[in-house]
Amino acid sequence: MSRYLANTPSAVSSRPSSSLPTAIAINKQQQQQQQQHRIHGAGALGAPSSHRGGRWPCRPDGLLLRLRAGSPVILLERAAAAGGNSIKASSGINGAPTIYQTGPTPDTFFYQDTIRSAGARMRSAEGPQREALISQLTNRSAAAIDFLVDDIGVDLSVVSLMGGHSVARTHRGSGKNPPGWSIVKTMLDSLKHDVRFQLRTEHEVTRLLTSHKDKGGAATVTGVEISHQGETSRLDGPVVFTTGGFAGDADGLLARYRPDLAGCPTTNSPRPGMHNLLTAVGAELVDMESVQIHPTGFVDPTSPNDGGKFLAAEMLRGEGGILLYKGKRFVNEMGTREHVSDTIMRLPLDREPIETGGSAGPRQWDIQLLLDPGAFSRTTSNVNFYLGKGLMAKKKVKDLDETTRETLGEYSAVVAGQRADGFGRTAFGHWRLKWGDDVDEAEVYVGRVTPVVHFTMGGAVIDEKSQVMASKLGAPDPKPVAGLWAAGEITGGIHGDNRLGGSSLLECVVYGLIAGEEASKHGRTLAAADRASPDGHAEWTDL
C-alpha cells in the first residue's frame, strides 16, 4: 500500500505566488529554489496528506487547510501513474463506530482487536508507544470514514466482517470499483482542479536534503533531490514520505530481512523500498522482519508459475467463502491472516520452486477457495472480475468431486446450526447453500489460491504526530528528524506481528491527514523564518 510524502520528487518551473512552503509529494520536477510542501508517493497516503493542512478533522476544499493557508503542494510519484499498491486494495477500510455498522450496540472493540492481532510485540518494552499509535489509529477511524464519505464523496456504505475482527467494520462501496481505487481516484480528482496542487509522475527522489545536524547528530530535512529523465533538481520545504513498503522488493530489503520467504509469490508491484533515504538522515527502523503473508492470492491457471498474483480479497471469505485442501476444510477461514497463512504453509507444498524457462517458479500450495450463491450475491462485482480474468470458474455442485460435495453438505449443516464447526468458525457471512434434493443444480464459484507476500509491517519509527524519529520506538528521550513526516506502509510499529485486514487504507488516511497537518504547521514556521532571514532560505548541506 502507498504513503503520504514519498520519494519521487518533481520540480516546479515557476515560483508560486504564496510565500508559504509547498508540500512536496515525491514526483518528477525541474530545478527550483522555492520552499514547498513535498509529499513523496501518490497512493492512498499521498492523497490524504495533500488534503490535510490544519486541525483535525478538517473539511476539504481544494487542498483543505494547507491550500486554504495559501501553500502549494507537490505530490511526487516515481511511477508513470499515481496509485501505487493502494489502488489494488479490494476488501475495504476499517472504521468504528460508523453509521453503516448495523450491530445492536456501538462497536467499541476495534482497539482491543488491533492489540490482539499485533501479537507478542505488544508485550515488549516499547509496548506503551505501540499502544499510543494504535489508539490514534482506532480512535480516529470513524472520523476517517466521515472524511472520505462526507468530504471527498467516496461510497463506503457496505460493511463486512474480516478475519481477526470481532464485529463487521470493514467498509467498501456498493459499485464495481475496489475501495482502494475509489479512494485514491476520488481524492486526486478533488485535488487536480486546485492550481496550488501539482501531481508530478515519473519523478524519483534520490535523497533528502538537510541543513546542519544538531548536537545529537540528527539532521533537519529541508527538501528533496529528484531525478527526472536523467536530470537532477531539488525542491525545498517540509517532506512527507508515503512511498509504501518493501513487499515488492524481492531482491533487496525482503531478501535482507526475510530470506526465508525467497520464492514466495507477491501481490505487490516489483519496486525497491525507499527506506535507505530515511536512514541516511538518521531515521530509525522497527519491525523490519514482520512481513505479512496473505493466505489467498489467485493462481492463474494459464500462467501458474508467475510470481505476481492477484489478491483474492479477504472479504470473499468474510461474506461466506471457504477454503479447501483436497476437498476438505482445514482451518477457520475467519482467523487472522497470520493464523490462516501459517496453517496453509504447514500443508505439503504443491511443489518446491522449479526452473521454468530459465527462471524459478514460485513456492505455492494447491488450495481451493469456494463461494456459494449467497456469498456470490455479496461479492458479485469482485467475482465477475475474477471470472473475466479466468481466476475463478463457475460450476454446478453436481460437477464437483465427491469429497468436496461431502464437505459442502457438512458445512451447510454447520451454518444451519445443526452442529458446531470443528475449526471454530462462528460467523458464516451470507452462505445460504442448503443440502437437499435440488442442490446438484446450485452454482458455486471456485478458484485456486496460495499464500502470498502482501504487506510489510516494519518501517520508519514515527510518533503519534507522524513525525519520523531518530530514536528507537519507545525510547525514553525520543528525538525527531525535523522537517520529515511519514505515513502508511513506509512506517512501522503500528501493526506489530500481524495487520488486521482493512487497516492499511485506514492508516494511510489517519496518519496521512495528521502528517499533512503537522507539515503545514512546520511550513508556516519556515515561512516566518524566511521572511526574517537576510538571504531568504535555509543553508543547505550535502549528506
Q: Annotated active-site positions, please?
A: 294, 317
- Decide if 489 contacts 291 (C-beta within 8 A): no
Dist. CA 447–CA 160, nearest whole Å: 21
What Å distances lie between residue 437 and 190, 316, 370, 396, 398, CA to CA?
54, 27, 21, 14, 11
Taking the C-alpha atoms of residue 18 and residue 327, their distance in angstroms, rounded to an integer, is 65
DSSP-assigned states of every residue in 15-47:
--S-SSPPEEES--------B-EEEE--STTHH
Q: What separation in angstroms does the CA of 69 have from each of 72, 238, 442?
A: 9, 15, 60
For the record, the C-alpha cell of 363 comes out as: 513456492
- Measured in whole angstroms, how far is the alpha carbon of residue 301 from the centre of its chain? 27
Rounded-to-integer distance, Cα 195 and Cα 519, Å: 20
DSSP 471: S
Beta carbons of 244 and 251 less than 8 angstroms apart = no
| Other beta carbons less than 10 A from residue 364's beta carbon | 26
User: Quick one: how far is CA 529 from the chain centroid?
Assistant: 36
Beta-bridge partners for 204: 227
Give yes or no for a contact between 95 and 139, defined as CB atoms under 8 angstroms apart: no
- Please give the Cα distance from 124 to 117 (Å, whole number): 15
What is the C-alpha separation between 253 and 450, in angstroms, rounded? 23
Q: Given CA atoms 408, 413, 417, 422 in this order, what sign does their dihedral have?
A: negative
DSSP letter (8 states) at residue 90:
-
DSSP class of 150: I
Question: Under the phi-then-psi rule, with left for phi > 0, alpha for psi from -120 to 50, and beta for the rest, what region is 11?
Answer: beta
Q: Report the C-alpha gap between 24 and 32 in whole angstroms.
A: 12
Q: Where are the beta strands (DSSP E) in 457-513?
A: 459-461, 467-469, 480-486, 491-492
| 42 contacts 75 by C-beta, under 8 angstroms | yes
- Contact between 512 and 3 (Cβ < 8 Å): yes
